[in-house]
């Protein structure tokens, strides 16, 4: 088992951290793991809570794997940037250069999308009524900055099985046909706006980016992520489909009871329905990992680790603003917002990171030489429970206060 490091908790912030966790556990999340790296040294790698909060037989440990949700995007987007750095493609290359099927309906109408929470279909925005888009104009930069005009979400999982609705079993073997079925839907969905006009955070776009990564690398997506990022950096815990990869349930943090589709506690399989529906391997969600390995991934970005195999030019572009909005974007990375950032108030404005719907986050502050991976399973009591944003802000402020004592 990985050793814990609690140096940060030997500072005066300990009582505040204890109080914050007591306030949020277990009502907001029953499991928590935090790894903080400051000036290249691990100053906190600790866990709180239980994998099974009712029975309390299995405490969370630093070896416990959390469902990263959208933090997965960072690993896939990093994999893509290694391909760009190798010259296999470019940021301005068209998606159809790699996935020509994406342009098979041209022009593509602008429609109304779908609400990811209620699953209701949405009306088209008035200014786009009757308009269409040329899908061949979508570039990889559009996907990385979420400015493609593609819908934020669609119920792809309902198109993944030959028999509808048919969620995979929790211990099923990956079935490539599910992803092929899903791709057919992704090629046809209407856009929800013009390409390049504004940021619309889109899982659909990163699902397509994942397919492009697989084709450019010449393998399945999980193999590409492993060989280009995880293996290179020694991130041994990072995996898709942990149960299928022989990781015991007692080492995996469960998420919510899915009463809508799977009709079971989601444990050992990805929480996101679309990622689950296509076999657990996707560009937008699906990875599981320890907080330690997520922090090490962040440290590789912060230090410019050559094992990451991304050129200095691409790295600098990735962490600088490429698309403006309330939540400005780099290339894949979320940049710190001017107000109400999940990174709190004390991380510098040079900070970059990402959050995940299950209650995960990674934030990197180059000015303070600071990396923090904060992983929770905040959907365990139900995805509608509020409080994770306030917790994130508070814990990140405490982390900065603590490292200032070191």
What is the tens place of the pLDDT at every residue in 327-355?
A: 999 999 999 999 999 999 999 999 999 99
Closest alpha carbon to 68 in 250, 244, 295, 398: 295
194 in Cβ contact with 321 (< 8 Å):
no
State residue 174's pLDDT score.
Answer: 84
In this prediction, residues 222-249 reach a mean pLDDT of: 97
Terminal Cα-to-Cα distance of the chain (whole angstroms):
26
Give mean pLDDT, residues 357-369: 98
Q: Are 271 and 255 in contact (CB under 8 A)?
A: yes
Cα separation, 189 vs 112, in Å, equals 10
Which pLDDT score is estimated for 263? Answer: 93
Closest CA to 28 of 403, 406, 374: 374
Q: What percent of the chain has pLDDT over 70?
A: 98
Q: Is the per-residue pLDDT at 164 higher than 70? A: no
Predicted TM-score of the model (pTM):
0.97
Average pLDDT, the chain: 96
Q: Is the pLDDT of residue 167 over 90?
A: no
Asked if residue 387 lies in contact with residue 376, where contact means CB atoms within 8 angstroms, the answer is: no
CA distances from 397 to 158, 238, 346, 348, 400 (A): 41, 27, 6, 11, 5
Q: How far apart are CA 308 and CA 304, in angstroms?
A: 8
Give the model confidence (pLDDT) of 28-38 as tens digits: 999 999 999 99
Question: CA-CA distance, 253 to 259, in Å (whole number)?
Answer: 19
Q: What is the number of other CB atoms lying within 10 angstroms of the CB of residue 378?
A: 28
Quickly state the pLDDT bin for 3 (edges 50, 70, 90): low
Contacts of 221 (CB under 8 A, 6+ apart): 76, 210, 211, 213, 214, 281, 282, 283
Alpha-carbon Rg of the chain, whole angstroms?
A: 20
Closest C-alpha among 1, 64, 73 to residue 34: 64
In the numeric block, the tokens 């570039």 are attached to 139
Q: Say yes or no to pLDDT of 1 above 60.
A: no
Tell me: pLDDT of 303 over 80: yes
Residue 2 in this model has a pLDDT that exceeds 60: no
Contact 319, 333 (CB under 8 A): yes
Give the model confidence (pLDDT) of 313-332 as tens digits. 999 999 999 999 989 999 99
- Confidence (pLDDT) at 186: 97
Cα four-point dihedral sign 221, 216, 85, 333: negative
**Both tokens of residue 32?**
């928590």
pLDDT score of 187 more than 80: yes
Please report the DSSP string for 134-148 in residue order.
Answer: -GGG-BHHHHHHT-S
């Amino acid at each position: 088992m990985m050793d814990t490091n609690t140096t940060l908790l030997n500072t005066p912030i300990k009582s505040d951290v204890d109080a914050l966790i007591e306030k949020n556990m277990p009502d907001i999340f029953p499991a928590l793991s935090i790894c903080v790296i400051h000036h290249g040294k691990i100053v906190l790698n600790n866990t709180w809570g239980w994998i099974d909060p009712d029975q309390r037989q299995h405490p969370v440990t630093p070896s416990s794997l959390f469902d990263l949700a959208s933090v997965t995007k960072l690993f896939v987007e990093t994999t893509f940037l290694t391909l760009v750095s190798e010259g296999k493609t470019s940021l301005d290359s068209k998606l159809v250069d790699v996935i020509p099927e994406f342009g098979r309906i041209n022009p593509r109408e602008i429609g109304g999308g779908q609400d990811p929470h209620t699953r209701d279909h949405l009306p088209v925005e008035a200014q786009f009524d009757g308009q269409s888009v040329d899908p061949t104009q979508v570039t990889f930069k559009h996907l990385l900055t979420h400015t493609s005009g593609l819908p934020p979400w669609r119920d792809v999982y309902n198109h993944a099985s030959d028999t509808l609705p048919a969620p995979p079993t929790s211990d099923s073997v990956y079935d490539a046909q599910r992803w092929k079925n899903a791709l057919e839907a992704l090629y046809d969905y209407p856009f929800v706006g013009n390409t390049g006009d504004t940021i619309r955070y889109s899982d659909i776009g990163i699902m397509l980016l994942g397919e492009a990564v697989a084709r450019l690398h010449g393998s399945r997506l999980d193999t590409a992520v492993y060989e280009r990022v995880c293996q290179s950096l020694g991130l041994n815990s990072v995996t898709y489909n942990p149960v299928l990869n022989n990781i015991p349930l007692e080492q995996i943090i469960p998420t919510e009871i899915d009463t809508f589709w799977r009709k079971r506690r989601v444990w050992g399989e990805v929480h996101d329905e679309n990622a689950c529906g296509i076999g657990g391997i996707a560009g937008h969600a699906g990875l599981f990992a320890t907080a330690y390995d997520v922090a090490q991934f962040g440290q590789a970005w912060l230090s410019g680790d050559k094992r990451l195999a991304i050129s200095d030019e691409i790295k600098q572009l990735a962490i600088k603003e490429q698309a403006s909005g309330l939540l400005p974007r780099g290339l894949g990375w979320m940049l710190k917002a001017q107000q109400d950032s999940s990174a709190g108030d004390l991380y510098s404005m040079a900070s970059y990171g990402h959050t995940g719907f299950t209650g995960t986050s990674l934030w990197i502050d180059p000015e303070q030489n600071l990396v923090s991976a904060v992983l929770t399973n905040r959907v365990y009591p139900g995805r509608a429970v509020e409080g994770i944003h306030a917790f994130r802000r508070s814990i990140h402020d405490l982390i900065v206060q603590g490292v200032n004592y070191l």
